[in-house]
Amino acid sequence: MSRISAGEPAIRARPIMSLEGAPFPSGEWFDALVASACQSIEQERLGFSELRLAFQMTDEGGGARAFGVVFEGYDISSAGELSELSSFDPDAVVTGDLSAWREMFDNIVAHGRADGAHTFNALTIADAPLAITAADPLRRDRVFRFAETIQQLLDAASGTGGAAPVAAPRRTGA
C-alpha cells in the first residue's frame, strides 16, 4: 500500500488500539484497517464503488492529521497518511475531533461493529461530531451513496486484524 507522503504528523499517535501492532491514528493503522476489511467483507455484495475519501482528525490544540482511502470498483486501498489533502484530491473529507474518532472505534471494537449511536451515518448526519466537506456537491454525494461500504470498512476495526480496546476518554453530555 502506498503512502502519499510521510510528513511530520501534527498529532502524536497515542495507541488506543492496534491493528497488526500499528498505533491509532497512523498511516500504518489505516493500511491494516483496509487489509482487514479486504479479508472480512464481501465487496461484491456491497457493490461497485468509486470514492476517494480522507479521514481528518484534529487534536485539542488544533493540529490535524489526514489519512486517505480509495474505493475503486470492488477494491479498497489505503493511501496512508496525507501531508496535503489537495495532492490526494479526495471526493470528500470526513473531519472530527480525535476523541470522536476514538470513541467510534472503541465502540466498534467493543461490539464487533458500530452500535446505532456510533455508525458513520449517525455521526455525520448533523455534521457533528464528524463533518463531511467537499468542494463539489456531486463528489460529496458519493459519500452518502457508498455509506454502507464505508461502514463496512470502519467495522473492520472490530478485531479481525488484532484490534484490542484500550480505555480512552469518553465524551459526556446530555
Average pLDDT for residues 82-87, to the nearest whole number? 94
Contact between 44 and 59 under an 8 Å Cβ cutoff? The reply is: no
pLDDT-derived band of residue 74, with 50, 70 and 90 as boundaries? confident
Angle at which helix 98-111 crosses helix 147-155, to 10 degrees, equals 70
Query: In terms of pLDDT, which residue wins out, 83 or 23?
Result: 83
pLDDT over 90 at 99, yes or no: yes
pLDDT over 50 at 173, yes or no: no
Lowest mean pLDDT among 55-69, 98-112, 142-156, 158-172: 158-172
Average pLDDT for residues 87-112, to the nearest whole number? 95
Amino acid at 80: G
Return the pLDDT at 44: 64
pLDDT-derived band of residue 10, with 50, 70 and 90 as boundaries? very low
Return the pLDDT at 172: 38
What is the reported pTM?
A: 0.79
Q: Is 36 exposed, middle or buried (0-12, 13-18, 19+ CB in 10 A)?
A: buried
Average pLDDT for residues 137-151, to the nearest whole number? 95
User: Is CATH 3.50.50.60 the classification given to domain 18-158?
Assistant: no
Nearest to 46 by CA among 155, 161, 160, 146: 146
Nearest to 17 by CA among 107, 88, 134: 107
Return the pLDDT at 113: 92
Q: Strand, coil or helix: what is 94?
A: strand
Label residues 78-117 b or e (16+ Cβ within 10 Å = b): bbbbbbeeeebebbbbbbbbbbbbbbbbbbbbeeebbeee
Query: In terms of pLDDT, which residue wins out, 20 or 93?
Result: 93
Containing 49, the helix (H) or strand (E) segment is strand 49-58
pLDDT (tens digit, 9 = 90+) per residue, 16-44? 445 667 888 999 999 999 988 887 766 66
What rounded mean pLDDT belongs to the chain?
A: 81
Lowest mean pLDDT among 31-35, 67-71, 115-119: 31-35
